[in-house]
Structure 1
């Protein structure tokens, strides 16, 4: 990789000589080698070039829920299978900026937008999401009027949203409300059940009856407060030519996504190379975190092979692991904020999911959709949450006569399905795909990827819990927290949080 390009910047980003505080910490530990920890460590090295950075990862590999498997199948060819996210959004810009900072922006690939779009299961059939519909807003009204997803009463109720006004939603808690209550109040139950619910639940693998509007859909809340309704907000955005991309989308703005030729692990590998092998230790679980009387290096990390002391420590492990480490701190002066932060962090629930990846010959599928994938409303009583045709997005990921199907199972509402064996899950998925897209026979290869407690659930009142955690962490000197359990589960928000933390610790302007 050409590291000379690391200094290239766009917009307001400064060069590698960005100003650094004269009081740069000498030793900084990052606990957790997922994307949060790696992004934080990369920017710490950039903003604090004189500091010694160490990343500790408990498992044998880096990347957390980001991983890619490359499989050579005899007689078929190569399959590139992402175990987690297979692309990232360019807005907000933190992820694309990281790629610029790493010097790999020119390696990114754009999804095949000729296939852009998604579908929804409706009475056992796959029906396209109306063009121009993005989460809760219709930028092409006629598409909503003609969609078969809604009955005439359902369409009329949706059109009446402009008359609901901006009054508070019933049952609001501390000015927060669930996604389900918000949509039901503004657009009716049918729009919730048939359209918005499955789209939002597909993003967060969540129970929309509990999912917080303020924590997940704040822009929608702001639009209603400013304009009185989403319909009026959409009209205002159209006048200002702000919805050009949305009007050409169906469920997601795919032209604003990017991926890597060799899968998302390429981002992790590039980050690790930039941080440096000497700064990363895998297979090193931290067993305890101790606050010492040493003013210069007040934190001691314990692990099986001994202990090390640091000026600053960043907890970038999963929420449960970070909470456990906070509880291990027994220093009297900071025990209360440590316990407060740990308790609040532990109160944020998480959901588990499995991804059944099936690589199938196209000739085995009678009704292969042209679009990128589909989501499944809860009212359809299916045993899958959604399906994504990964090779539709990036055809280079598999042989031309095959398709890679990633099927999502479990989530907050069907955790019992994950108690099955991998073989049982694959067999269950085969049955669903046979019914929905006419798949027959056996796949060329299959994988089941399980992510246990990997998706934080932002329930109503979530931002109050975040405020409690952040207030407590401020009271713990030289100890910091970076996690997707607080202010964003996507790739870009996680990177942005890591960069912000690195700037704070380094004193970079």
Structure 2
């Protein structure tokens, strides 16, 4: 029996996790409708994955982009199942529950035990007393503001209001470095950490919300990866039937014309009935410019500072004094340029040979973009010097590697929710055009996949109905 004629062609720009999620979800919709839909993914690089990039060197598994993902999106679990990767999902080692912050010249454990936390020295007596008062702090509700951009509280101000300035400075600000590589004073609480804002609105207190979650038996989202690395997922999605992936085809422009779009790439023009843009910033802004100059201008206001990821592998004996843990973050003002360090071989099994200690150190971001521009040798020397000072590792590495991301993590500045509303107001009237990726609705891998899937589903339904 021959297939029905294609209902149209969907072109997805960007073969990273978000773009491939859009392509996969569109193919699912086509199968559900019993229809044929041509789905083409155009990827600029020579392989899929975007920043989800796994490399292998010297018997090591190297994650140059995201280390893992949060298991907090049902559509992500659905996609993993569709790819046959459910048996490949890897949970972290128990030791990864231990995390540290480097402050006051030493590593201090961010313990879940109230007594151990109080003894850690992360907060002083005044800071601890103020933190304990969090349930008594009046909540900020929607009626307290007029909804303008000036009312979009920064994450630092949100944390200071709820937990005290000492906790905001010593706890929240370092944690933000590990997620956004950004400054808590320059990030929107509502956009960057919507769950925290929702917890306050629902329960009037973060502590009360956490207690309610424990009473319900609701575990926090788990940190996961794959046995063969994070790039396993985009590679598996690209191999699914119903999706055509064309690598080494950089898209240079998108234009509206007639009832569809013309997608110009390095390999020539491609006609499309619908388009999902899942490119990173600032490239996404340039592509959106072809359909909405106002939306493109708004996207160009979202900074994506550079980052460098330095891997250093040490032989057995160099780090025997280090307690197995996820790693540590560095409070600003310590004279350390490193944002944080992840202990890869202590977090996920299979990252290196037995006895090897693989560290992954992060530099740059909005707090120190110049660090990402240092040469490879300078970055390695800086990493070794700072690992010696922070973690006490005084040995020559057996292997080193440097990965660079010129435009790493979008920074959701105060006013971001209002900017998102303006971008969506400009793009929503353009039938068949969708913006995926992590520029608007969350920088985490799982959230970017959820956004991509939503765009793919919407685009497919438009073409199939």
Same fold (TM over 0.5): yes
Alpha-carbon deviations, 1:67-113, whole Å to 9, x = none?
11112x3xxxx111111122221113332221112221012222112
326, 351, 359: which one pairs with 1:405? Answer: 359
**In the TM superposition, what is the alpha-carbon distance from 1:126 to its structure 2 partner?**
1.1
CA RMSD of aligned residues (A): 2.3
Q: Residue 279 of structure 2 corresponds to which residue in structure 1?
A: 317
Q: Residue 41 of structure 1 corresponds to which residue in structure 2?
A: 23
TM-score by length of 2: 0.91
Distance 1:125 1:279, change over 3 A: same
State whether residues 384 and 429 of structure 1, in contact with CA within 8 Å, keep that contact through their aligned partners in structure 2.
Answer: yes
1:217 aligns with 2:171: no
**For 1:456, what is the secondary structure of its paired residue?**
coil
Distance 2:343 2:382 in 1: 18
**In the TM superposition, what is the alpha-carbon distance from 1:366 to its structure 2 partner?**
5.7
341, 345, 352: which one pairs with 1:387? Answer: 341
Aligned residues: 453
1:359 aligns with 2:313: yes
State whether residues 119 and 127 of structure 1, in contact with CA within 8 Å, keep that contact through their aligned partners in structure 2.
Answer: yes
Q: Residue 61 of structure 1 corresponds to which residue in structure 2?
A: 47
**For 1:378, what is the secondary structure of its paired residue?**
coil
State whether residues 106 and 390 of structure 2, in contact with CA within 8 Å, keep that contact through their aligned partners in structure 1.
Answer: yes
Distance 2:415 2:133 in 1: 28
Distance 1:399 1:236, change over 3 A: closer
Distance 1:274 1:100, change over 3 A: same
State whether residues 456 and 489 of structure 1, in contact with CA within 8 Å, keep that contact through their aligned partners in structure 2.
Answer: yes
**In the TM superposition, what is the alpha-carbon distance from 1:317 to its structure 2 partner?**
1.1
**In the TM superposition, what is the alpha-carbon distance from 1:504 to its structure 2 partner?**
1.2
**For 2:19, what is the secondary structure of its paired residue?**
helix
State whether residues 362 and 368 of structure 1, in contact with CA within 8 Å, keep that contact through their aligned partners in structure 2.
Answer: no
Distance 1:184 1:23, change over 3 A: farther
Distance 1:313 1:167, change over 3 A: closer
Structure 1 gaps, min length 5: 1-21, 132-139, 247-252, 330-337
State whether residues 376 and 382 of structure 1, in contact with CA within 8 Å, keep that contact through their aligned partners in structure 2.
Answer: yes
TM-score by length of 1: 0.84
Q: How does 1:172-187 map to 2 (within 5 A)?
A: 173-187=149-163
Distance 1:347 1:502 in 2: 26
76, 95, 119: which one pairs with 1:146? Answer: 119
**For 2:252, what is the secondary structure of its paired residue?**
strand
State whether residues 434 and 459 of structure 2, in contact with CA within 8 Å, keep that contact through their aligned partners in structure 1.
Answer: no
Structure 2 gaps, min length 5: none
Q: Residue 180 of structure 2 corresponds to which residue in structure 1?
A: 204
Distance 1:115 1:314, change over 3 A: closer
Alpha-carbon deviations, 1:359-414, whole Å to 9, x = none?
11131236323211001111323110000011112232211121110000111111
**For 1:380, what is the secondary structure of its paired residue?**
coil
1:230 aligns with 2:211: no
Distance 2:105 2:179 in 1: 21
